[in-house]
Structure 1
């Protein structure tokens, strides 16, 4: 099975450009109720993932930083504690699964490292659940 089956395309993904401010990231995450979002550079390449935890650590370790002045903090100034590795669009399903174990979503890139979307762990789990349900239904029908 190709991993593209699970791809949520870039046009449907909430992401931030690396030149955004901390305030913009906070507001976008709050609006969409997300705990992490991908970061892209000006060329559209995936450069990392920013998490709520990263934002909290920045606030904790920056004296006098308040929500009101987060507009002056660049996203580039915020350390990313967790490394969400991307997967290449031609990768095998095993590569995807090993990343999805530790990541809520797996960024997907093309040959040039250009971000083309994400694969959400929940979509993989839902697919597996459906397979199990079909298998169990098939087994029940054979036993009847």
Structure 2
């Protein structure tokens, strides 16, 4: 089974750019109930995933940074503590399963590394469960 069957297209995915601010990331995560959001650069390429933990560790490691100042801090200056690995559009289910063990979602990119969507871990689990139930 191919990744394309499971993909949630980028038009339906909440994303941020490296130029968004910490405050914007926190607000978007809070509004949508997410703990991690893909970063997509100005050329549309996948640039990593920002997590709540990344934002918290930034504030912890920079005590002079107050919440009221987060609107001044671009996400490009927030270290990403986890490497959320993308797959190419022609990846197979086994590739997704390996990554879903440690990632809530798997970003999907095309041959030019342009972000085209995600595959959610819940969809991968449903697929595996369906295979087992047969």
Whether TM exceeds 0.5 here: the answer is yes
Is the 8 Å Cα contact of residues 96 and 124 (structure 2) preserved in structure 1? no
Larger radius of gyration: 1
How does the TM-score come out when normalised to structure 1?
0.89
Residue number in structure 2 paired with 1:77? 77
For 1:105 and 1:65, how far apart are their aligned partners in 2?
Answer: 30
CA distance in 2, matches of 1:127, 1:95: 14
Aligned CA RMSD, in angstroms, stands at 1.0
- Alignment partner, residue 48 of structure 1: 48
What do the CA deviations read for 1:1-37 (whole angstroms, capped 9, x no partner)?
1111110000000110111011000000000010000
Alpha-carbon distance change, 86 to 123 in structure 1, aligned in 2, over 3 angstroms: same
- TM-score normalised per structure 2: 0.96
The size of the alignment, in residue pairs, is 134
Give the CA deviation at 1:42: 0.3
Q: How does 1:36-115 map to 2 (within 5 A)?
A: 36-115=36-115
Return 123-132 or 94-103, whichever deviates more. 123-132
